[in-house]
Amino acid sequence: MWPWNKKQEELDFLKMDKNEVVRKFNEIKSKEKSGKKITRPEKKFIREVEDSFYKVGATLIKENYKQINKKGKRFKGLLKREIDIKSEKEKKRRVRLW
C-alpha cells in the first residue's frame, strides 16, 4: 500500500522519535550516495518519508525545528519551502524535497 493511502498514524516513521527519523534518513541517503546497495526496508522508509513529508513534515519540523536543524540540514529547505508556498495551486503540486 502506498504511503499516501495510509493514515498518518500507520506510517512507520511517525512512531519513531523525530531526531531518529532524521538520523536514519540521512544515514540511508549517505549510504546510497556512496554507492552501497540499500535494502528493501530502507527503500520503503525513504519512500514513506519523502512522500509523506510534504504533508506532515512542516508540523514535524516546526515542533522541533532547532533540534532537527542541528542534526539534519536537509530538512531546513523544506521548512523554507513550506513558508514560501502561497497559492493553493502550488500547494497541490507535488514538491520535490531533495
The predicted structure's pLDDT at residue 8: 47
Span of 9-13, 27-31, 38-42, 72-76 with lowest mean pLDDT: 72-76
Bigger pLDDT: 26 vs 55: 26
Cβ neighbours for 82, distance < 8 A, ≥ 6 positions apart: 57, 58, 61
Q: How confident is the model at residue 91 (pLDDT cuts 50, 70, 90)?
A: low
Q: Is residue 45 in some structural domain?
A: yes
What are the grid coordinates assigned to 22, written together?
A: 532524521
Q: Is residue 55 in some structural domain?
A: yes
Model pTM?
A: 0.43
- Structural domain boundaries, residue 42: 12-92
3 state DSSP class of 94: coil
* Furthest CA-CA distance within the chain: 40
Q: Is residue 4 in some structural domain?
A: no
Q: Is residue 5 in some structural domain?
A: no
Number of domains in the chain: 1
Q: Is the dihedral of CA 77, 4, 60, 30 positive or negative?
A: negative
CB 54 within 8 A of CB 97: yes
